Amino acid sequence: MRPEHDVVITADAVEGSWVYRQAPKAWRPYLKLARMDRPVGTWLLLWPCWWSLALAVGSGFTLYHAYLLAIFGIGALAMRGAGCTYNDIIDKDFDAAVARTRTRPIPAGEVTIKQAWAFLVFQCLIGLAVLLQLGAFAIMVGLGSLLMVAAYPFMKRITGWPQAWLGLTFNWGVLVGWATVQGELSAAPLVLYFGALFWTLGYDTIYAHQDKDDDALIGVKSTALTLGAQTKPALVLFYSLFIIALIVAGSLANLGFFYYIGIALAGLHLGAQVVRVDIDDAGLCLKVFRSNIAFGWIVFVALIVGQLTA
């Protein structure tokens, strides 16, 4: 391992992140491994959970629902970190060969494989503690995602569409959130879940364009390479399908008129992403990718207002 004082700042960390300014130095490699210096992934995992909770609660929001929002936040933080840790263990050789990822803790020599596995178990235990706070049906639904999580790092080796698998995995919280409140699954969360798959296809294709040259050299597959110059038309299709899914899910849940105004604004946000992004500008791809945090807030507020005006 590197000396404690020699902690490398990862290539796409948030500038001025608290991980490097305030966290104890001995903790920093592990916080980096969990992507605490890059919180956007936690938000992208959390938003489907919060959207589903908002879709399921109706207008009768209580302190219990506020509690659910909080524990889903903790769960998203822990399981996103666990997923990234697992991904970095599996992809350690690939990460060492890519300029943007060779500063991650394992290829940089800040964390050993044994330490990474131990940290992974710790994060999974936190996630399990959160899951056990939910009802029996929601627990079963939550456990259903484990095989997809385990398989995800291998998808980039066998298919040019690993982002589709990520979409199936990352948006599983839609099903868990609805199952927690309603104790069953119905058409509304299923439509939202499959629609959100296309949202992930869009934003993660943008993200993957940062590494497309290195990926092509080392044999890693991605939708950035699969779609190439057709990325922008594909983004229009992906995002349009997601907006349609949001409209249909809102209709199935009998949301009020103002929900659809919010979704129109969300659609404009996604349209602006497509117009703004330059797939050959890695820095701009990262900025557009991160803008999905704001997009998530637009949809969440639309859902709340839609429930209040139902």
Q: With 70 as the cut, is the pLDDT of residue 49 above it?
A: yes
The one-letter amino acid at 113: I
Q: pLDDT band at 2, cuts 50/70/90?
A: very low
Residue 7 lies in a domain: no
Average pLDDT, the chain: 93
Residue 189 forms part of a structural domain: yes
- The predicted pLDDT at position 4 comes to 42
pLDDT band at 5 (very low <50, low <70, confident <90, very high): very low
User: Which residue in the block uniquely carries the two structure tokens 């995800």?
Assistant: 152
Q: How many domains does the chain have?
A: 1
Is residue 1 in a domain? no
As a whole number, mean pLDDT of residues 61-76 equals 93
Which tokens is 32 given? 């980096």
- The domain containing residue 271 runs over which residues? 18-308
Does residue 98 fall inside a structural domain? Answer: yes
In a domain, 200, yes or no: yes
The CATH number given to whatever domain includes residue 62 is 1.10.357.140
Residue 10 domain-assigned (yes or no): no
Q: Can you say whether residue 41 is alpha, beta or left, with left for phi > 0 and alpha for psi between -120 and 50 degrees?
A: alpha
Residue 9 domain-assigned?
Answer: no
Nearest to 73 by CA among 58, 53, 94: 53
Going by C-alpha positions, the residue among 167, 250, 178, 245 that lies closest to residue 207 is 167
Q: Report the b/e string of 96-134 with b at 16+ CB within 10 A.
A: ebbeebbbbbbbbebbeeebbeebbeebbebbeebbeeb
pTM of the entire predicted model: 0.92
Q: Is residue 6 part of a domain?
A: no
